[in-house]
Every structure is written in structure tokens, then in C-alpha cells.
Amino acid sequence: MEVNQVIAKRNERRRQHYAANREQVLERNRQYYEANREQMLERKRQRYTTNREQELEYKRQFRAANREKMLDRSRRENAHLRTVVLAHYGESCACCGTTERLSIDHVNGDGKQHREELFGGVAMYRWLVRNAFPEGFQTLCMPCNRSKGTGESCRLTHAEMAA
């Protein structure tokens, strides 16, 4: 029997075993990872350092081949982050009560500086989640948020907005 045939048979047995015992295999893999997490991360770092150019080229090719798929996934993740943040801080404007065109506002008016540190909108949502939804933020609609600017409150007359 040729080497390729032996390898093909072995791979087929592995696929069958995995299909028949998927949950047990996944659980064993999870346990192994938990028990050897640091060693596995170190191996991954070493492999990346040793093969940095090949790794980067692989990633470039993968992104080029799967551009639409990756954009779709990114959009879904960003929408989920936004939903989680708005669910925590409120799903309506704290000023006028509308539920359209919502954004997160820095209560003390230092949002521009904070956003520049975080590099943009989605990064802010990610930061809020990672930091366990800190105090000092509220939900405002875009018109109220722009009107407030760096001030303490919205300067719009909401009766005019409703008309």
C-alpha cells in the first residue's frame, strides 16, 4: 500500500470518528486548551514570529478571497455591539425621547477627545462593553447630541422638532 493511501485511510477514520463523537472530541479539545493555554499561546507566537511574512501573506490572500464575507461579518458584529450598548444606556433619546438616529453621548462633554483616543465610533462601543458600561454616558439622538456639543444640555426646542 502506498503512503498516500495509508494517509487517506487514516484521515477517513478520523473524519468518521469526529462525526460520530463530535461533542466528546470538542470537549476534550476544550479541556486540553484550558490545561495548556499558555503553552499553546507561546507556540502560536513562536510560529508567527518564525513565519511572519507567510502568515501576513496568507491573511492578505484570505481577506482578498473573502472580502464580502468578512464585511458582512463585520457589519453584523458592529450592529450587535451597538444593540448591546443601546440596551444598556437606553433605547430612546434621554432628551427628547425619540428612538431614531440614536448615538452615545459623553455626559460631561469631552466626547471628541475620548473618540480620538479610541479611533472612531465602533471602537467606542467596544470600549464601553469591555469596561463594563461605565457611568458618564447617555443615549441621545443625533440632533440633540449635535446641539449639546461640548455644553451641558441640548439647546433645541423639541416642540419645533415634532412639527
Amino acid 163: pLDDT? 45
HEC string for 51-96:
CHHHHHHHHHHHHHHCHHHHHHHHHHHHHHHHHHHHHHHCCCCCCC
Asked if residue 90 lies in contact with residue 96, where contact means CB atoms within 8 angstroms, the answer is no
Amino acid 154: pLDDT? 83
> Is residue 39 located within the same domain as residue 96?
no
83 within some domain:
no
> Is residue 99 located within the same domain as residue 156?
yes
80 within some domain:
no
pLDDT (tens, 9 = 90+) of the chain, 163 residues, equals: 788 899 999 999 999 999 999 999 999 999 999 999 999 999 999 999 999 999 999 999 999 999 999 999 999 999 999 999 999 999 999 999 999 999 999 888 777 788 777 766 678 888 999 999 999 999 999 999 888 876 777 888 876 554 4
Cα 11 versus chain centre, distance: 35
> Is residue 55 located within the same domain as residue 109?
no
- Owner of C-alpha cell 469596561: 131
> Is residue 95 located within the same domain as residue 56?
no
pTM above 0.85, yes or no: no
Amino acid 65: pLDDT? 96
> Is residue 96 located within the same domain as residue 157?
yes
The continuous run of DSSP H or E covering 153 comes out as none
CA distance 121 to 48: 30
User: How many domains would you assign to the chain?
Assistant: 2
> Is residue 157 located within the same domain as residue 101?
yes
> Is residue 111 located within the same domain as residue 152?
yes
> Is residue 60 located within the same domain as residue 103?
no
Asked if residue 160 lies in contact with residue 154, where contact means CB atoms within 8 angstroms, the answer is no
CA distance 40 to 46: 10
